[in-house]
């Protein structure tokens, strides 16, 4: 039976340790409990917030005026595919992501090893199309089982129906679908998928495109993330964050030309900036580089919050801050980058009751 409480402080359920109380809070351990809680709130005309690990949320100091449904469902099944070489791994939305990745690597299943160390629960991964170090979950997600609030029934969305994009999907920014289960098609292999990310390849001592033992890839990713304060550690205040706060900007031709001019004017005619061609002719650049070159160094503080001392993309709550403090720092960084380089940064975490 789902557990119902009132006035639960959400700061205890987010990795930022920020956020006010939820009017109602339901802990759902089964799909029926999850769907029932969402339906009941909807019928009562209440707002609903489906909460996983809270690793990608910025919640208002005032809290949430409706019902928060905390997803605590569990269960993983592994089914070999008849074609061979790949297996289908189905996991409930409430499973913790990092232990899931660890299990896949231990069982010789390749495709998510570069996503090691990411906090949060599995049901959030298709929503954000979680990615890191050259891998996105969209590459291996075969289908998502979800509750469709518009139709009032459980549906299965295949890969195409999920409409994955850079840090986005059909699920993001919409309350229509409640993710119940995700099915991953993973390769049965002793080696990782080809290493694409240059920094990871260097740390492994290989060329981009090579494959390495699965466990080597995982350990290298974990080491890189720890150095950047991106693996949760209660003793390290830099990990009290929502991960990367801004997405890497994707620029069209005009925006790219404007950035080239601004970089040359600010840093000199020979200055270069990171650029990564996209399939549609756009170019992705580095949010971390823009933040740093706009004058916001690691450790830059505004009141009780600061940029991580290890990574310019993470905004952290070392101790005793409010969400309003975090947003003030985020606006300072966003506005500074826009003034310096003409690029408007977009937040990666989901905002609840707040905006930049």
pLDDT of residue 85: 73
pLDDT at 86: 87
Q: Within a domain: residue 20?
A: yes
Catalytic option among 86, 167, 306, 322:
167
CA distance 139 to 157: 15
83 is catalytic: no
Q: Is position 86 within any domain? A: yes
Q: Give the count of beta carbons closer than 10 Å to the beta carbon of residue 223.
A: 15
Same domain, yes or no: 215 and 320? no
Asked if 172 and 127 touch (Cβ cutoff 8 Å), the reply is yes
38 and 84 in a single domain? The answer is: no
pLDDT at 84: 65
Range of the domain at 261: 237-352
**What pLDDT does 1 receive?**
55
For residue 241, the model assigns a pLDDT of 97
Catalytic residue among 244, 302, 306, 322: 244
The CA distance from 28 to 22, in Å, is 15
Instruction: Please choose, from the candidates 266, 241, 244, the residue with its C-alpha nearest in 3D space to the C-alpha of residue 339.
Output: 266
Q: Do 190 and 87 sit in the same domain of this protein?
A: yes
Strand order across the beta sheet in which 305-307 lies? 301-302, 305-307, 315-316
- Is 259 inside any structural domain? yes
Whether 219 and 81 map to the same domain: the answer is yes
Question: Is 13 inside any structural domain?
Answer: yes
Q: Which two tokens stand for residue 115?
A: 């996503």
> Any residues with CB less than 8 A from the CB of 299 and at least 6 apart, and which?
306, 307, 308, 309
Nearest to 229 by CA among 167, 316, 296: 316
**What tokens does 75 get?**
């269960």
Of 277, 217, 209, residue with least CA distance to 248: 277
**Residues near 248 by beta carbon (within 8 Å), at least 6 away in sequence:** 284, 285, 286, 287
- Domain contains 232: no
- Helix pair 323-341, 253-267: axis angle to 10 deg: 90
pTM: 0.91
Which domain CATH number covers 58? 3.30.43.10
Identify whether residues 218 and 242 lie together within a single domain. no
Active site residue 348: yes
Q: Which residue, 227, 251, 278, sits at the end of a domain? A: 227
Flag whether 285 is in a domain.
yes
One domain, residues 132 and 55: no
Domain co-membership, 215 together with 269: no
What pLDDT score was predicted for residue 83?
A: 63
111 and 167 both lie in a single domain: yes
Q: Are residues 198 and 222 in the same domain?
A: yes
In which residue ranges of the chain is pLDDT below 50? none
The residue among 38, 71, 104 that closes a domain is: 71
On whether the CB atoms of residues 330 and 247 are closer than 8 A, the answer is no
Q: What is the dihedral of CA 275, 169, 325, 259, to 10 degrees?
A: 20
> Quick one: 54 and 155 in the same domain?
no
Residue 112: CATH number of its domain: 3.30.465.10
pLDDT score of 82: 64
Q: Name the residue among 168, 172, 213, 169 with its Cα closest to residue 189.
A: 213
| Boundary residue ending a domain (18, 37, 71) | 71
Determine whether 167 is an active site residue.
yes
CB 224, CB 200: distance < 8 Å: yes
DSSP state of 232: -
Assigned domain for 146 exists: yes
How far lies 54's CA from each of 18, 71, 263, 332, in Å?
10, 11, 36, 24
Instruction: For residues 134 and 184, state if they share a domain.
Output: yes
Tell whether 28 and 101 lie within a shared domain.
no
Number of separate domains in the chain: 3
Instruction: Return the structure tokens found at 259.
Output: 């950035």
CA gap 321, 304 in Å, rounded: 5
> Strand 276-277's sheet: what is its strand order?
250-251, 283-284, 276-277
The three-class DSSP label of residue 286 is coil
In a domain, 281, yes or no: yes
């Amino acid at each position: 039976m789902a557990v119902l409480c009132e006035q639960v402080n959400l700061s205890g359920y987010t990795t930022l340790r920020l956020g006010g109380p939820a009017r109602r809070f339901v802990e759902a351990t089964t799909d029926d409990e999850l769907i029932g809680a969402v339906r009941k709130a909807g019928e009562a005309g209440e707002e609903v917030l489906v909460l996983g690990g809270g690793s990608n949320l910025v919640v208002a100091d005032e809290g949430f005026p409706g019902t928060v449904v905390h997803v605590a469902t569990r269960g993983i099944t592994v089914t070999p595919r008849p074609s061979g070489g790949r297996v289908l791994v189905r996991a409930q939305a409430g499973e913790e992501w990092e232990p899931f990745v660890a299990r896949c690597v231990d069982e010789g299943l390749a495709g998510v090893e570069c996503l090691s160390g990411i906090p949060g629960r599995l049901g959030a991964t298709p929503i954000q199309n979680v990615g890191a170090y050259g891998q996105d979950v969209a590459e291996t997600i075969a289908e998502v089982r979800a509750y469709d609030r518009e139709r009032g029934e459980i549906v299965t969305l295949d890969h195409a129906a999920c409409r994955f994009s850079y840090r986005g999907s059909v699920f993001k920014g919409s309350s229509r679908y409640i993710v119940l289960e995700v099915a991953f098609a993973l390769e049965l292999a002793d080696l990782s998928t080809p290493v694409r990310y240059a920094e990871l390849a260097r740390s492994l001592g290989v060329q981009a495109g090579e494959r390495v033992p699965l466990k080597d890839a995982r350990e290298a990713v974990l080491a890189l993330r720890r150095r950047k304060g991106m693996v949760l550690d209660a003793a390290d205040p830099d990990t009290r964050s929502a991960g990367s706060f801004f997405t890497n900007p994707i620029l069209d031709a005009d925006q790219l030309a404007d950035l080239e001019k601004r970089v040359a004017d600010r840093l000199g005619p020979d200055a270069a900036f990171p650029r990564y061609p996209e399939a549609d002719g756009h170019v992705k650049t580095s949010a971390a580089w823009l933040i740093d070159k706009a004058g916001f160094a690691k450790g830059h503080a505004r009141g009780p919050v600061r940029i991580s001392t290890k990574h310019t993309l993470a905004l952290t709550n070392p101790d005793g801050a409010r969400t309003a403090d975090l947003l003030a720092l985020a606006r300072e960084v966003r506005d500074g980058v826009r003034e310096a380089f003409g690029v408007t940064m977009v937040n990666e975490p989901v905002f609840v009751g707040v905006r930049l």
